[in-house]
Structure 1
């Protein structure tokens, strides 16, 4: 089963995820990385996956290897799994923008719904106008 949190952690560890992050997010991700590196000291597959150079085509192979090793380490150490998830949640919270918009539709909707944050120009909802045929 593909765990989205482990996949996200693996991708972050296998790419240059730190570029473009603010200070708080960078520190939170560094906390995740320190935890994983400490675990790698005792987990051979994780250590090897983190040490592997990315393939010339990108970091996909490395991310898959890191994700598998993380899953194995987490399965064998529930405390590590729990702490990894706690630190990842902390990182995720620092990356949520304060001006983010959440659109929600609930109840019975009987017509079109438009959900948007910023719109430049007009929005038309409905059937196109009847065209006259000669």
Structure 2
């Protein structure tokens, strides 16, 4: 009697455990769950790539400054560090008030697009 009760209870427990596992796996394989998982992985990968790119850019900038200093020392050029920083910032800034950044107005004679993929 106890032996049957034991094996019956063991069978019920194994059935409940297996059913729970299968249901959990089925929920993971729904399209919504797969899409959410893929989106999360893509965001994590993008963040990792961004972090590596920023680190690489900082390393390149540091090495460039070091090499410029070495070349300046070898050539006997001694530049004021404040001037170098100001020069770099000026080169980076986009001065949109500069005439070369002002776009010319579109001609009123332009009637047709030259996009080859456009439906005709």
- The two structures have a TM-score, normalised by structure 1, of 0.23
The structure having more radius of gyration, on CA atoms, is 2
Return the structure number with greater relative CO, CA threshold 8 A, min gap 6. Answer: 1
- The two structures have a TM-score, normalised by structure 2, of 0.25
Whose helix proportion is higher, 1 or 2? 2
